[in-house]
Each structure stands twice: as C-alpha cells, then as structure tokens.
Amino acid sequence: MHSDQKKNRGCLGLVSFVYGLFDGFRRFVFNVVFYVLLFLFIGVLAGGDGVMVPEQAALVVAPSGFLVEELTGDPLERAVDELLDQAVPETRMEDLLDAIAAAKDDSRIQALYLDFDGLAGGGLDKLERFARAVEDFKESGKPIVAGGDWLSKHGYYLAVHADEVYLHDEGTVWLDGYGLFRQYHRDLIDRLEIDWNIFRPEVNVFKSAVEPYLRNDMSEDAKTASLAVLDDLWDGYLEKVAPLRNQTPEQFRQAIAELPRHMEEQGGDMAQVPLALGWVDHVGPRDLVRDRMIELVGRDEENHTFQQISMGDYLDALADDRFRNPQSGDGVGVVYAVGTILDGTQSPGTIGGDSTARLVRQARYDDEVKAIVLRVDSGGGSVFGSEVIRRELELARADGKPIVVSMGSVAASGGYWISTPSDRILASPHTITGSIGIFGMWPTFEDPIAEHLGTHTDGVGTTWLSGDLRIDRELDPQLGELIHSNIDHGYRQFLSVVAAARGMEVESVDEVARGRIWSGQDALDLGLVDQLGDLEEAVGVAAELAGLGAGHSVKRIERQLDDWDQLLVDMMEASVLRVAALSGDTDWRGRAQRLDQRLLRAVEERVEFLQQFNDPRGVYAHCLCSVE
C-alpha cells in the first residue's frame, strides 16, 4: 500500500511537473505577446498623426501591371510578397473606381493626373469602366491631365478622356489593334513521335483550343470566328477614341495604314507623328507635364514636384470611408469568378470548383445578401469544377435569391457554363463569350521513350483497363472510344444546360455553339445574354429583382486575411518600415505613420480579446476564428 501511495505521489508529481512546464510556456508566450503589443503601442505614440491628404493636391492614378477584377494569389502570401516588392504587378478595378469616385467630391483634390507608364493592359470592358469613372470625375469641373513616356492602346484609350494629353518626346502612341496569335506544334509532335490523342465532338469545328496540337496553322473556321470578334473589339475601340480627338474612326484607320508615310514626313521622329495627327496635345520631357501640374495644384517644395497624393495613399487615408457603396445591411453580394476554372480549392485569380462554390454558399446563407451577382472573367477550364459552381448557384437561386451574371472581358466555355443558372446575364459589348463546346487530350510518349531512351513498358493486369492511362503506353483504342463517347455526352450536356437556362431548343443552341466565340453584342443578338451592361448595372438589376430600394449595400464576397494573419503582416511591415524610416525618407516615414494608425486599432482589439482568457489551468478549446 505504501508502495502504491509512493507511485501515486510520483504520478502526481510528474503531472504537476508537466503542467508547470506547459503553464510556464503559456506564460512565456503571453508575456512575449504583451511586450510585442507594448512595443507597437510605443511605436504608435512615437509615430505621430500620420500623413494626411494635402489641403490642395492632385490625385495621381498610375495603374501598375494588368487591370484585374481581383488580385492574384493567396491573400497572406500576396500581402507578404507586396511587403517584399515581389508581388505580380496588378491593379484592382475596385481600387481605381473607389479612388476616383471619392476624389470627385473631395475639396482637397484639385486635379486628377493619369500616368500610364506602368499599365500593362486590360480587357476593353475594364478600360471602359475606368474611362466612365474619369468622365464622371470630369463633372466636378476639376482638370484632368494624362501623360506617359509611351502610350500603348490600353493607356491611350484612357488618356483621351483627359483634358490634356502629354507624351514624352522620346515616346510614341502605339495603336496596334487586336490580334490572336499562337504557336502550332503538329510538326514538333510528329518529329518527337508523340501520340497526341484529341477528343472533341465532330461538330465543334470552331473549338480552336486543340488546333495547335492538330495543325501547323490556324484553320479557316477559327480565323473567321476570331476575326469577327477582333473586328468588333477594334471597331468599339475606335468609336470611343476618335470622337474624343475630334476625328472619325476612319481617320484613325487611315492614319495607321499610312504610318510609314507619316513617319517619313516627321523625319522618323516617333513622338512627332501622334502630335501631327492630333492624337496628343503636347510632346516634351517629363518636366513639361510636371510644370503644368504645378500650375494647377501648387509646388511641393520639399520633393521639388507638384502637390500630390498617390492612389494607394489616398485609399489608405480614406480607410473605411473609401467605398462607393455601404458594406453592411440588406443588399447585393458580389462573387468574383476570375481566371482558369480548376477543380478543388484555389487561390484568388484562379477559379476553384470548391472554393468558388464555397463563396456562393457563403452568400446564399448570408441573411443580409438578398441577391447575388457573379462577376465572370474566365475562359473556362475544368468541366467538373464548372458544374460544382453551377450547381451551387442553382441552389442559391432555388432558395429565392436572384442570380445575376456580369460578364467581364471573357466569359467563354466553362465561363459560360457557370453563367447559366441565372435570372439575368449582362455582358459588355466587347465581352468574348460563347465557345460552347468541350474537348479532351491525352498524349502518350511510348515511341520517343523507347527510341531515344531505350526504355520499354510492359506488364499484366486483371482487366483491359489496367495500366491503360499511362503516358508511356499507347492508348487502347477501346479506351479512346470510351473517352470520345464521354466527350460527346459532355457536349450534349452543355447544350442541354444552355437550352434549359436560355429557354431555347437544343438544336438552336447547337447552331450558335460548336465551340465558336462571340462578342457580347453578337451574343445579345443570338439570345446568349439578356442585355448589355457593366458590373454596376448588374448590381442594379440584382437589387431590382430582389426588391431592394435605394441605398442598398454592396458586399464583396471573398476570402480575406483573418484578424491574426493581418496582425502578423502588419507587424512585419511595421518592422521593415521603421528601419527604412530611420533613413529620413519621407515616403517611408509616411507609410510607417499610416500603418501605426491601423495597428493601433488592431492592437486595441487584440488586447481586449486576450483579456478574456482566464481559465485557471490555462487550457482552452477555441478555434481562434470568427464568422461575421
């Protein structure tokens, strides 16, 4: 008995020791957190009031990279990449529109300066939304100046909406139109003796995605379909641009056709050509436009330039007041489907069957979301992933929530598939849509592996299917027939889905399908979409269908950093900025001060949260997550 008591005391001692160890570790962790928070508080107190919007300044809008509906990548990874200046250059449309809309009514913003040197491109529908925001700003009576060292067709489309267009004297305006070019690999495939198995319905003569593996050039059918859409885009481009330069589209076409002659007349000076053609207002070095902006908004003596604030800083200064629409209360939820459609969970910039369906489901069960707008900017991808999303939208619609689809630059093939379970489809006249068709590919490499590597594959299996889906074995003709049969079934299913959604006969859908792409205007004429309009108009239609009045909210349904991830990123950024600010650089110091203000709010929330933890043993069952 005495021995048992000693064992029990030993066990209790061990438990006590383990508990003490864990309790000490717990206290250590919480002490570290406390001192980190204390350090942040001290940093906030030392940081001052942060940089404010100047009382008189120009808002500088300088889009970087491509215009996109949503930024690419996992939110946490992207936040870290941005901190390290390693993020893919992209500019979110919502940021542009919010900044310009807010600046219109902001008495501190006296002018708008558009800088397009960093703009890599964007779909014509995005350029049009951007341009409408600039035109709306123009109603304020404030001057708008645009400039660039080199104006591509994307930047020029936007620049012509300014009151004055400046071009660097070593630059030019490059209007190269729209084209569709790709590489074709038939000879390479034959040379390498690859058996590239292609499966597509015989009627899908316009489904050109597989042509690079079947041919050495573009088929006449593909050329016909592609050129029809490209002509629509170019016509739409010139019809918008030309009148703003007091010219006709035909004058622009003729000038481009005779560009060599114009170059010769200007002695080969590429900057003087657009000036002589009336495409720009001023040609000169950068200080020319800088001096003009100083005339308009005043001089920044410290930085030897004009009084200004960048779009990013301006949005940070606006903070929660930046949005054009309220974010809470009954309203419309917007789900973005941007990029290639893949199965499973994917990061933003790619559409995941599971992850995008999850966002739809989130909107479906959100009591404040009375209607859903699906913003589609995708050329398609996985049929399975597309169907998972389509079904989730169908369920939301069955629950009584109107579904409105807003098509962006592209909503084709799988992008059209996920658009079908909707009450209304809106497209831009320049949307590329349709491409109703499917295909499959399965390459095998048994011949080059055998000939060049001397490696052969052989074996046995219990059925004729055993080991058949291997790239080092020839595809069994019977399996090829199975796959082909499934592809045919998939195409018929696609036709049926479209026919049921659009109230059309399957045969009628087939006539406009067969893998052919259409412009948004043609799609309207063919009954594939209901009306022309942009995202803002789609939100309005959804609100009307849901019976919402004026002042309804618009909520962006997306994956965001949770509170703890955001605090982690902010702490990392604070450390980097504080070290950089020691150099005396005012830009870095300003960023650090603005971050301090954001951290102050975040730290206060975290301290209140941590103070709730009072279990006497320091043991918790909490997910450290929140659902709002």
- Cα atoms found within 13 Å of the Cα of residue 431, Cβ hemisphere only: 36
The Cα 73–Cα 88 span in angstroms is 9
Q: Which residues of 207-219 are buried (b: 16+ CB within 10 A; e: fewer)?
A: bbbbbbbeeeebe
Which is the catalytic residue, given 207, 370, 401, 555? Answer: 207
Q: Is 126 a catalytic residue?
A: no
CA dihedral 501, 504, 508, 511 (to 10 degrees): -30
The Cα-based distances of 512 to 233, 310, 379, 602 in angstroms read 20, 47, 17, 54
Question: Which distant-in-sequence residues (6+ apart) come within 8 Å of 487 by Cβ?
Answer: 199, 200, 201, 438, 439, 440
Structure tokens at 600: 């102050």
Question: Which distant-in-sequence residues (6+ apart) come within 8 Å of 518 by Cβ?
Answer: 229, 432, 433, 434, 512, 526, 528
Q: What is the DSSP string of 169-181?
A: TT--EE-------
| CA dihedral sign, ordered 366, 371, 376, 380 | positive
Q: Mapping DSSP to helix (H, G, I), strand (E, B) and coil, where does residue 554 land?
A: strand
Structure tokens at 330: 């009954």
The Cα 98–Cα 110 span in angstroms is 17
Ranges of beta strands (E only) in 221-340 are: 282-284, 299-300, 305-306, 308-310, 331-338
Q: Is 370 a catalytic residue?
A: no
Cβ-contact 50, 595 below 8 angstroms: no
How many C-beta atoms surround the C-beta of residue 312 within 10 A? 15
- Cα atoms found within 13 Å of the Cα of residue 240, Cβ hemisphere only: 24
Which is the catalytic residue, given 152, 208, 413, 419? Answer: 413
Beta bridge partners of 198: 441
Amino acid at 593: Q
The Cα-based distances of 212 to 222, 480, 491, 585 in angstroms read 12, 20, 21, 52
The Cα 216–Cα 182 span in angstroms is 10
Which ranges of 48-107 does DSSP label H, i.e. alpha helix?
75-83, 93-104
The Cα-based distances of 68 to 312, 410, 417, 516, 619 in angstroms read 16, 12, 21, 25, 45
Q: What is the DSSP string of 103-155?
A: HHT-TTEEEEEEE-TTEEE--HHHHHHHHHHHHHHHTTT--EEEEESSEEHHH
Q: Which residues are catalytic?
A: 207, 413
